[in-house]
Amino acid sequence: MKKLILLFFLVLAQFALPQQNSPIYLLGSADDVSINPMFSPDGNKIVYTKAGYQGIWIYDLATKSLKQITDEPAAGFGYQWSSDSKSILSRVAKFEDTKRFNAVKIFDIESNQQLQLTDYQSRMPYLPVWSDGDTKVILPTKTGVEVFNSGKLNKSLSTTLEVNAFIKGDKIVTRQVLDEKIKILEPAKDAQILNLVTSPDGSKVAFEVLGGNLYSMNIDGTNITDLGKGNRPRWSSDSKKIVYMIAEDNGQDFTDSDIYSINADGTQKKNLTNTIDKIEMNPCFSPDGKAIVFDVYNDGSIYLMNIE
Amino acid sequence: MKKNTNRTNFLLVMKKIALLTFLIILINNSIFSQRVTGLSGWNIFLDPGHSQDENMGVYGYSEAAKNLGVALQLRQMLLDWTDIDTVYMSRTNSTVVVSLSQRTDLANSLGADHYHSIHGDASSNPSSNSTLIMWGQLGIGGPEKTPYGGKKMSQIMVGLLTAGMRITTRGAMGDRDFYGVAGSTPYLYINRNTTMASELSEAGFHTNPTQNQLNMSDKWKRLEAKTMFWTILKYHNIPRPFAGTVVGIIKDIESGLAVNGAIATLNGQSDTTDTWESLFHKYSSDPNLLRNGFYYFEDIPAGTHQLQVTAPGFDPYTVDVTTVDTFFTFKDVNLISNAPPKVVSTDPLANDSLYPGIKNITINFSRPINKAMADSTIILTPDTTAIFTWTNGDQTLIINTTNFIFDTLYQITIKGTLEDKYGHLFDGNGDGTGGDDYNYYVKTKVKDMVPPSIIDLYPAFSATNVELKPIISISFDEPLKTSTISATVKIIRNSTQTNAAYIARYYSINGKSVLNYFITTPLAENETYTIKVLAGLQDAYGNATTNDFTSEFTTGNSNYLSQTIIDNFDSGIASWLQPTASGSTVGVIPGLTKATSVSSIFNLNTGSTKSMMFEYAYDENVADSVWLIREYRSVASPSFDNSNLLQAFVFGDGNNNKFRFCVHETTYSTNYEVSPWFDIYWIGWKLVSWDLSQGITGAWIGNGTLEPPFVFDSFQFSYVPGNVSAGTYYLDDLRIATFSPTDVKQEDIQVPNNFVLEQNYPNPFNPSTQIKFSIAKAVNVKLIVSDILGREVATLVNDNMSAGNYSISFDAKNISSGVYFYTLIADNFKQSHKMILMK
């Protein structure tokens, strides 16, 4: 772990460690729109996608090199790193005539090998999640969940308390990994839940309510906290903070967006960007919580920013 | 027992009949509401654009509400009539506010097959109305985004939607091509950030009054939804079931207005057009303001059916309609009012008088008349040979009075046997039943031997501190013989006995007349001037004044100086709604109350080239005796405070009805303050000012306190019972101004020997400069400003001008910095000078 931390600081040092709120350009442009960056758990890499969430790319912070993992449609929406920072789990799509077919895949970022867990299916309204210390992948279905072997043999973490959480319409479903016990939560009755993210320690979730605010909640459904207006939350690795965006739009396009961080209990809300000419979106904490990556909607680029 | 057996048989027969009826209904339903297959394994995400009541349209009905209504109906059609997997929606009510990111995130997380965003469009031009479908495009001129499908869906939809709405279209376009903004990804967010095929539809303009009254209708929204439903089937190459949908608009054939509460019956179905009670009360307190006349039938089988339409106040209407399978079957209906024709107005009024040969008799009927019957049913007593001329679609009769003799009572009798164009008998006594006579008496005047006399004057007699560039106005009690004006009317500077420089205009209004003198070169400061009307000025009948009239006034050292132009109307009136489009307008006759951009009459005091002609017709019989017209300006700029004058030049008609200004206090969204009412007693042009610094307001829906900043809201008008209820105003040069000392010095008023164009001063300038020129003789003069490419950017003068020295101000506030040329063209003289605008 010390090595990882040292490596992360070395990586930041290569970028002359930005001043607070002084973003460093990493990649992308108006002609090569890049979005939705996410730090790998080891802090060495950033996964990102292109406009329309098409394809998956990896940016190596040490070498500043880019690598395309896939060009499949929809691969860049809802993707997740494995805990060992070696794989990306995603739901991809292919289109035949007018119809969409979806499949769950695991991409090995070193070998570019793909492990296809499902057939291409015409209706797959749920996103897959890692489970059981990354040795499994679960895919919610209309009636329950499907469980797939991920091909990873060694559990990346203790699964004693691990809980999967996923959305089914206006409900959040939690599933104990050990005993597969299901619990259905309705934090906002009759309201669609979206952008649910589970904290790294598995104790909390953050989510949006369609047409409503951003919330945090204990995984058992208690302690629901209204975090106010906000979208696309992501947790810090210590599971204490959430970084997210507050955006304004005119119904056809975004007119403004800034990035905020907030404690899970709703305290210490902090504006991390406060620009009038940049539309900052899709933030993600670095593993040590000292920096964020995000994209800027109106220039198509991804930036790294120290937030200490 | 026998009796019981008969009863049992009867019940059996009845059961069989009931069963048969049920089967027939079932078969019918299975024919016309059958499920189509082919959408299994496919789903769509419908996105009704915006939230709550965002993007408010005219009459207080929002685009967001329309979009939601269309989406809900389309979803139901797809679920009821097809085997589609499912239909997702971004919102299903008008309470939540759903952001763009949530819309696309939800669709992306659900893995929807297709994304369709439903919108309407807006424009500052209320006549704009067309469709547009935009698919995601990878740069200007670029290909469609992947996944493909949005372009194909757009191309199908634009044809069906446009044909269904029966409006024009801007087409199906890539969003980058439409917006013209360079980039490598789709321009619209929903096209750019969705993982599936997508497009956005703009179905007409909610800023178009006619369109938005249709948008209010659930049936109209169903029409829009059905074009999208058929689009989806065609997109999948699925044969459409028999269309069987008959729609149309029911209108009054004479007024062209849609009819509320009309009942259409077709093939056993009945549909009633929207009414104030059923719908429009949500958007207006005026029961007569809103209408759409739209009817809609589905499940009409193939064949010819009889469409019957009835409506209170109209003759019943029946027509055969043959349903088509290619699309909607359109059948618009023009209803004929069953009200008998009657006289609605006369000029002169009954028992009034006229001057024969000068003024004719005008009779306005409520309906178009069968003019072939006029000669035998309209009788003049004493018997006189008179020419009848019909105008206004045969609703107006003009009786030429050339052969009338002076000082005689004439009786005009219109017989009850006269018919309108549709065969309804004339209603002489106006009791609603035709067949009775109408008698109208007009007296011819004693031959006029009296010369014209002055009834109003500006500046008033002995006025002091008069502005340096006024519109001098002399009003007379009757029309003048224009050929006698220039020789008899003078405006003279006392100290030098020289003429003031002006452009003169003569207007004859409602039996009176006015001379407006637009001063072109500012008058000298602190000088006395005399308005002289010399003996010899004649009225229209040749009676000449025999005495000189003089009236003096004295200038001060100030002039009204424009600080901010709110609207000079030179670009038309696209920023203004029609008066009946405002929900605040009550007590008017809609078709006769309207605003128009005109270049025939405008304010010559400021170099204007157009004005707003405002025609009004108050309904004298309106309930509650409430009359208000709000002529609303929809552009919320410029902003101004309460330190200056809010002014407009108003061309009055002398009917003594009321006018006022209204401003919106932008800090308090619901606060609107109005000026006190101005009585429009004058005819011709007059500068009307509301001194905001005085804090004096009228009463409307504000708190009576002026709390800046403001934006201009509206001109408002009202009726004074007993006065003439219809007339015409012209409005020009709405502005914020000060009454301040000016640096402009009076020039020596001598008739120059030559044409001269002087160098402007200051030069360079920002934003205004003075241009002086001399005219050696009365001639048509044109002074234009052009850019370095020779394109004319302003016309400062285009008029007949008398000899003299002139100075005109050029305000370049609205053009960009650069080199410009100004050119004087007069007689054979043409000269240009260069000037530089530096902002």
Q: What per-residue confidence (pLDDT) applies to A10? A: 44
Query: Per-residue pLDDT tens for A211-226?
Result: 999 999 999 999 999 9
Q: Which of B184, B189, B212, B733 is nearest to A255 (CA)?
A: B189
What is d(CA B676, CA A137) in angstroms, rounded to the nearest whole number? 75
Mean pLDDT of B411-439: 96
pLDDT-based confidence at residue B4 (cuts at 50, 70, 90): very low
Query: Per-residue pLDDT tens for A28-54?
Result: 998 999 999 999 999 999 999 999 999
> Over 80: is that where the pLDDT of A18 sits?
no
Q: Which residue of A has its CA nearest to B181?
A: A30
pLDDT-based confidence at residue B762 (cuts at 50, 70, 90): confident
Helix (H) and strand (E) counts in chain A: 1, 26
Q: Which of A33, A123, A245, A297 to mutate to test the interface with B (most CBs of B within 10 A)?
A: A123
Q: What per-residue confidence (pLDDT) applies to B14? A: 40
Q: B64: which chain A residues are within 8 Å (Cβ-Cβ)? A: 251
The answer to whether the Cβ–Cβ distance between B188 and A252 falls below 8 Å is: yes
What is d(CA B389, CA A46) in angstroms, rounded to the nearest whole number? 86
Q: Which of A144, A152, A145, A146 is nearest to A115 (CA)?
A: A152
Distance from the Cα of B187 to chain A's closest Cα (Å) equals 9
Mean pLDDT of B598-622: 92
What is d(CA B91, CA B110) in angstroms, rounded to the nearest whole number? 14
Burial A108-146 (b: 16+ CB within 10 A, else e): ebeeeeebebbeeebbbbbbbbbbbbbbbbbbbeeeebe
Mean pLDDT of B430-434: 94
Q: Which of A255, A254, A258 is nearest to A243 (CA)?
A: A258
Q: B145: which chain A residues are within 8 Å (Cβ-Cβ)? A: 51-52
The answer to whether the Cβ–Cβ distance between B108 and A211 falls below 8 Å is: no
What is d(CA B180, CA B699) in angstroms, rounded to the nearest whole number? 47
Amino acid, single-letter form, for residue B21: T
First to last CA, chain B: 110
Bridge partners for B837 per DSSP: B765, B818
Distance from the Cα of B817 to chain A's closest Cα (Å) equals 27
Query: Per-residue pLDDT tens for B97-143?
Result: 999 999 999 999 999 999 999 999 998 889 999 999 999 999 999 99
Burial A74-98 (b: 16+ CB within 10 A, else e): bbbbbbbbbbebbbbbbbbbebeeb
Most confident of B555-569, B641-655, B754-768: B641-655
Are residues B755 and B829 in contact, defined by beta-carbon separation less than 8 angstroms?
yes
Q: What per-residue confidence (pLDDT) applies to A1? A: 42
Q: What per-residue confidence (pLDDT) applies to A160? A: 64
What is d(CA B734, CA B686) in angstroms, rounded to the nearest whole number? 12
The answer to whether ipTM exceeds 0.85 is: yes
Q: A98: which chain B residues are within 8 Å (Cβ-Cβ)? A: 42, 113-114, 149, 197, 235-236
φ, ψ dihedrals at A301, nearest 5°: -115, 165
What is d(CA B670, CA B540) in angstroms, rounded to the nearest whole number? 52
Q: Which two tokens stand for residue B434?
A: 């035709």
Q: Which residue of A has its CA nearest to B64?
A: A251
Specify the residue for token string 């900043």: B709
Q: What per-residue confidence (pLDDT) applies to A2? A: 44
Mean pLDDT of A295-301: 94
Specify the residue for token string 């609107």: B672
Comparing A70-84, A120-134, B762-776, the range with the smallest average pLDDT is B762-776
B70 vs A180 pLDDT, higher one? B70
Q: B146: which chain A residues are within 8 Å (Cβ-Cβ)? A: 52, 54, 73, 95
Q: Which of B135, B140, B195 to mutate to test the interface with A (most CBs of A within 10 A)?
A: B195
Mean pLDDT of chain A: 90
Q: Which helix (H) or strand (E) holds B533?
A: strand B528-533
Q: Which residue of A has its CA nearest to B184?
A: A31
Q: Which residue of B has its CA nearest to A214?
A: B102
Size of interface A-B (CB pairs under 8 A): 144
Amino acid, single-letter form, for residue B549: F
Are residues B209 and B122 in contact, defined by beta-carbon separation less than 8 angstroms?
no
Mean pLDDT of A236-246: 96
Comparing A4-13, B505-514, B649-658, B822-831, the range with the smallest average pLDDT is A4-13
Q: What per-residue confidence (pLDDT) applies to B27? A: 40
pLDDT-based confidence at residue A159 (cuts at 50, 70, 90): low
Q: Which of A71, A210, A246, A297 to mutate to test the interface with B (most CBs of B within 10 A)?
A: A210
Distance from the Cα of B180 to chain A's closest Cα (Å) equals 15
Mean pLDDT of B803-814: 80
> Over 50: is that where the pLDDT of B591 sits?
yes
The answer to whether the Cβ–Cβ distance between B96 and A95 falls below 8 Å is: no
Q: Which of B102, B115, B202 to mutate to test the interface with A (most CBs of A within 10 A)?
A: B102
Percent of chain B topping pLDDT 90: 76
Angle between the B218-235 and B63-81 helix axes, to the nearest 10 degrees?
A: 50
> Over 50: is that where the pLDDT of A100 sits?
yes
Q: Which residue of B has its CA nearest to A31?
A: B184
**Coil, helix or strand for A142?**
coil
> Over 50: is that where the pLDDT of B313 sits?
yes
Query: Per-residue pLDDT tens for B213-241?
Result: 999 999 999 999 999 999 999 999 999 99
Q: Is B56 exposed, middle or buried (0-12, 13-18, 19+ CB in 10 A)?
A: middle
Q: Which of A215, A231, A211, A213 is nearest to A223 (CA)?
A: A215
**Coil, helix or strand for B224?**
helix
Residue B647, CA distances (Å) to B521, B662, B675 in order = 21, 12, 11
Are residues A210 and B102 in contact, defined by beta-carbon separation less than 8 angstroms?
yes
Q: Which two tokens stand for residue B511?
A: 């039996």
Q: What per-residue confidence (pLDDT) applies to B759? A: 87
Q: Which residue of B has its CA nearest to A90?
A: B109
What is d(CA B466, CA B458) in angstroms, rounded to the nearest whole number? 10
Angle between the B218-235 and B150-165 helix axes, to the nearest 10 degrees?
A: 140
Helix (H) and strand (E) counts in chain B: 9, 50
Mean pLDDT of B434-462: 95
Distance from the Cα of A3 to chain B's closest Cα (Å) equals 36
> Over 50: is that where the pLDDT of A3 sits?
no
What is d(CA B405, CA B444) in angstroms, rounded to the nearest whole number? 7
The answer to whether the Cβ–Cβ distance between B106 and A93 falls below 8 Å is: no
Q: What per-residue confidence (pLDDT) applies to A19? A: 46
**What strands lie across the sheet with A145-149, from one edge to the other?**
A129-131, A136-140, A145-149
> Over 90: is that where the pLDDT of B713 sits?
yes
What is d(CA A305, CA A307) in angstroms, rounded to the nearest whole number? 6
> Over 80: is that where the pLDDT of B29 sits?
no
Bridge partners for B615 per DSSP: B594, B728
φ, ψ dihedrals at B40, nearest 5°: -60, 140
> Over 60: is that where the pLDDT of A153 sits?
yes
Q: Which residue of B has its CA nearest to A100?
A: B113
pLDDT-based confidence at residue B593 (cuts at 50, 70, 90): very high
Bridge partners for B653 per DSSP: B683
φ, ψ dihedrals at B487, nearest 5°: -80, -15
Q: What is B18-74 written as a DSSP string?
A: HHHHHHHHHHHHHHHSPPB-S-TT-EEEEEE-S-TT-SB-GGG-BHHHHHHHHHHHH
pLDDT-based confidence at residue A179 (cuts at 50, 70, 90): confident
CA atoms within 13 A on the CB side of B310: 3
**Coil, helix or strand for A7?**
helix
Phi-psi region of B511 (alpha: psi -120 to 50; beta: other; left: phi over 0): left
Are residues B91 and A191 in contact, defined by beta-carbon separation less than 8 angstroms?
no
Q: Which of A218, A164, A221, A214 is nearest to A194 (CA)?
A: A214
Instruction: Label the pairing between strands B246-252 and B333-335.
Output: parallel
Are residues A147 and A121 in contact, defined by beta-carbon separation less than 8 angstroms?
no
**What strands lie across the sheet with A65-70, from one edge to the other?**
A34-39, A45-50, A54-60, A65-70
Instruction: Label the pairing between strands B246-252 and B329-330.
Output: parallel
Q: Which two tokens stand for residue A169?
A: 């319409």
Distance from the Cα of A156 to chain B's closest Cα (Å) equals 27
Percent of chain A topping pLDDT 70: 92
